[in-house]
Chain A
């Protein structure tokens, strides 16, 4: 019987059915970071347990690391304590730690793929909701809580109910200046922030066939913002080419065997989907959020929703709440909204291709007066790649501060924060109230090139106009 990738991976990792009907699922790859793991190690110790497969857990540090301070101790003693705790736990339990000194540190969802740890047909868990990123490789990847981190450390498994699968086809061709970020913001806008509850999203269609691995990662990354616990793209030649030669990728004869095995995990033609949604790439424009969740998005040429025109009571209340927080005017164009901060980076858009695309258009341009602009590579390796290509200089000359790798202003657990009600044009993934570190700070999510356009003009702008994208 034809099966989807999700079912194949699930079946290959299902250990047994538990008393409550859930599945004991083997988690082949476990990624950890400093924020959600210390309590889990504490639980493992308290229960007198051990880490059963230490070679299948990989650690890095990302949320709390300052992006402008390299020497420890960090000025924030709490951040230093978390760093020390992770170091201690990894040493005690024999876990590989991509610490800053290794030159391989970075945001966990960027490090896994670039090391070749993230592979097709595998199960991956990490105490971070953006673990869905790894689905770009045809892995089934779950964000988990700390108690489940304990479960994975102590048993290499977790208890989970099987998800349904929704296939999302994006057909046709994206217009110039429309990016992977716009695709996922559009999908979430259409299907809603909880439309994916109970589902894994399988992204497919011509747009995904053509996408690079980095573009696929951007989309899968934000699956959780649509309520889907996991999101994936079937592995293909693009996937295998990306993985070839990476540190943890199989080598020699094992490589050929792995590619054959990986290819076999792709969804079979005619397999069952619990739901299928099809969208036309031509309908997707550069998309920006106007509200306080990632589903509150509009295309750059639309106007800000007016609660008076809302059809449902709920919708009216949520628009009013969002506009009151965002200090935006109903019915006004979103284009031209003044910004204070421009943030390039995060596990959504902190990869080499993101900075390449921005640098291509930013060369010779200047960040508008009064705008604070920061560019934060997602990993030390991304930073090095950018620096070798001179992208850091192009960005710096334009007026972006070039920082060190970390989560930075995506969630502000480090010194990079908004101040007061600053408005940030951000390539990150969440525009929740207070998300970027100020209780009144405001976030507009958009693609990296749209962030660059906002930085240059000092307001939310259409990158296609600012940079004459179509003529390039």
Chain B
């Protein structure tokens, strides 16, 4: 199973500002009553994006200027709370290919990486600069260069960090670990016999 080598992501961005945006807000629990991940994109940020009657509320994702954005910008501790993979699945299925934030909650970060969605960390000041550029011109093309650990737009470059293990997985096309984990089957068995509680 050859995976794409994700060295960089290029696209237009949208800023969803705020700190501690939790996975319940990214996808409310009631939309997890499903047995596949299909169609989750339409429920992304549902309760802050929609009124009770299903009409739109003011929200960056409802702003036509940012339609088709593939880069999501946010604040600190993005994706905290529940481990639900439904959250990154909804983000990816909505059309996002990468997320830039000040930092990420741990489980969310791992879930995104495993789906091939790079999570890049940048400083608050730099995120504000990118957000300002997008606001001024929503057509601004932003490049999240995973390999070079930088973000570029309109002639500007700022540093970005994708944690080392995620970076390796993304740029080398092994962000989904399953093939490598399966390769270790013999070593797993060797280890398993040393642990009495695993005996059948």
A residues contacting B by CB (< 8 A) are: 12-16, 18-22, 24, 26, 28-29, 35-36, 38-39, 42, 47, 49, 52-53, 55-56, 63-64, 76, 78-79, 81-82, 85, 119, 122, 127-129, 131, 143-148, 150-151, 154-161, 193-194, 197-198, 224-225, 227, 229, 254, 257-258, 261, 293, 314, 318, 321, 411-413, 430, 432-435, 437, 439
When distances are taken between beta carbons in the complex, the residues of chain A under 8 Å from B176 are 147
How far apart sit A437 and B177, CA to CA, in the bound complex (Å)?
A: 35
Nearest 9 Cβ contacts at the A-B interface:
A145-B85, A145-B111, A20-B168, A38-B35, A78-B33, A159-B177, A143-B83, A146-B85, A129-B83
Q: Is B135 an interface residue (CB 8 A)?
A: no
When distances are taken between beta carbons in the complex, the residues of chain A under 8 Å from B192 are 26, 53, 156
**Residue from A26, A29, A147, A197 within 8 A of B85 (CB atoms):** A147
Are A13 and B25 in contact, with the CB atoms below 8 A? no
Q: Is B169 an interface residue (CB 8 A)?
A: yes
Closest to B182 in A: A155
Are B24 and A435 in contact, with the CB atoms below 8 A? yes
When distances are taken between beta carbons in the complex, the residues of chain B under 8 Å from A148 are 110-111, 114
Are B165 and A21 in contact, with the CB atoms below 8 A? yes
B residues contacting A by CB (< 8 A) are: 1, 18-20, 22, 24-25, 28-30, 32-37, 47-48, 52, 76-77, 80-86, 88, 103, 105-107, 110-111, 114-115, 163-166, 168-169, 172, 174, 176-178, 180-182, 184-185, 187-188, 191-192, 194-198, 200
Apart from A18-B177, A129-B82, list 13 A-B contacts with CB within 8 A: A39-B85, A63-B32, A78-B33, A79-B33, A147-B115, A148-B114, A154-B182, A193-B77, A197-B106, A227-B80, A229-B107, A293-B20, A413-B29
**Residue from A36, A122, A261, A439 within 8 A of B84 (CB atoms):** A36
Closest to A254 in B: B196
Closest to A257 in B: B196
How far apart sit A26 and B198, CA to CA, in the bound complex (Å)?
A: 10
Are B106 and A229 in contact, with the CB atoms below 8 A? yes
When distances are taken between beta carbons in the complex, the residues of chain B under 8 Å from A157 are 181, 184, 188
Closest to B108 in A: A145
When distances are taken between beta carbons in the complex, the residues of chain B under 8 Å from A227 are 77, 80, 105-106
Are A193 and B80 in contact, with the CB atoms below 8 A? yes
When distances are taken between beta carbons in the complex, the residues of chain A under 8 Å from B84 are 35-36, 145
How far apart sit A131 and B83, CA to CA, in the bound complex (Å)?
A: 10
How far apart sit A21 and B165, CA to CA, in the bound complex (Å)?
A: 6
Are B32 and A413 in contact, with the CB atoms below 8 A? yes
Are B83 and A128 in contact, with the CB atoms below 8 A? yes
How far apart sit A433 and B27, CA to CA, in the bound complex (Å)?
A: 11
Are A42 and B85 in contact, with the CB atoms below 8 A? no
**Residue from B22, B35, B184 within 8 A of A82 (CB atoms):** B35
Known: A15-B184, A194-B103. A85 touches B35 (CB 8 A): yes
When distances are taken between beta carbons in the complex, the residues of chain A under 8 Å from B36 are 38-39, 42
A-B contacts, 23 of them at CB < 8 A, read: A12-B194, A13-B191, A16-B184, A20-B165, A20-B168, A24-B180, A24-B188, A28-B198, A36-B32, A39-B35, A145-B85, A154-B178, A155-B178, A155-B181, A155-B185, A155-B188, A156-B192, A193-B80, A258-B196, A314-B19, A318-B20, A411-B24, A432-B24
Known: A18-B180, A129-B107, A159-B180. A432 touches B25 (CB 8 A): yes
How far apart sit A378 and B41, CA to CA, in the bound complex (Å)?
A: 32
How far apart sit A253 and B37, CA to CA, in the bound complex (Å)?
A: 47
How far apart sit A387 and B24, CA to CA, in the bound complex (Å)?
A: 34
Residue with the greatest number of chain A CB neighbours at <10 A, chosen from B1, B36, B164, B181: B181
Known: A143-B107, A193-B80. A15 touches B32 (CB 8 A): no
Are A15 and B33 in contact, with the CB atoms below 8 A? no
**Residue from B80, B103, B182, B195 within 8 A of A12 (CB atoms):** B195
Q: How many A-B residue pairs have CB under 8 A?
A: 211
Are B168 and A21 in contact, with the CB atoms below 8 A? yes
Known: A15-B188, A435-B24. A151 touches B181 (CB 8 A): yes
Closest to B77 in A: A194
When distances are taken between beta carbons in the complex, the residues of chain B under 8 Å from A435 are 24, 29
Closest to A35 in B: B32
How far apart sit A19 and B173, CA to CA, in the bound complex (Å)?
A: 11
When distances are taken between beta carbons in the complex, the residues of chain A under 8 Å from B177 are 18, 22, 151, 158-159
When distances are taken between beta carbons in the complex, the residues of chain B under 8 Å from A158 are 177, 181
How far apart sit A79 and B103, CA to CA, in the bound complex (Å)?
A: 35
How far apart sit A13 and B19, CA to CA, in the bound complex (Å)?
A: 35
Q: In the complex, what's the smallest C-beta–C-beta distance from A97 to chain B, in angstroms?
A: 16
Closest to A29 in B: B197
Closest to A41 in B: B35
**Residue from B52, B106, B195 within 8 A of A198 (CB atoms):** B106
Residue with the greatest number of chain A CB neighbours at <10 A, chosen from B28, B86, B103, B106: B106
**Residue from A26, A38, A161, A433 within 8 A of B24 (CB atoms):** A433
When distances are taken between beta carbons in the complex, the residues of chain A under 8 Å from B1 are 47
Are B33 and A53 in contact, with the CB atoms below 8 A? no
Are A439 and B114 in contact, with the CB atoms below 8 A? no
Are B114 and A145 in contact, with the CB atoms below 8 A? yes
Q: In the complex, what's the smallest C-beta–C-beta distance from A146 to chain B, in angstroms?
A: 4
Closest to B164 in A: A21
When distances are taken between beta carbons in the complex, the residues of chain B under 8 Å from A261 are 196
When distances are taken between beta carbons in the complex, the residues of chain B under 8 Å from A160 are 110
When distances are taken between beta carbons in the complex, the residues of chain A under 8 Å from B200 are 53, 55
**Residue from B86, B105, B195 within 8 A of A13 (CB atoms):** B195
**Residue from A19, A56, A434 within 8 A of B47 (CB atoms):** A434
Are A82 and B33 in contact, with the CB atoms below 8 A? yes
Are A144 and B165 in contact, with the CB atoms below 8 A? no
Known: A19-B180, A21-B164, A127-B83. A147 touches B114 (CB 8 A): yes
How far apart sit A143 and B47, CA to CA, in the bound complex (Å)?
A: 25
Q: In the complex, what's the smallest C-beta–C-beta distance from A310 to chain B, in angstroms?
A: 13
How far apart sit A19 and B171, CA to CA, in the bound complex (Å)?
A: 12
Residue with the greatest number of chain B CB neighbours at <10 A, chosen from A21, A36, A194, A293: A194
How far apart sit A22 and B115, CA to CA, in the bound complex (Å)?
A: 17
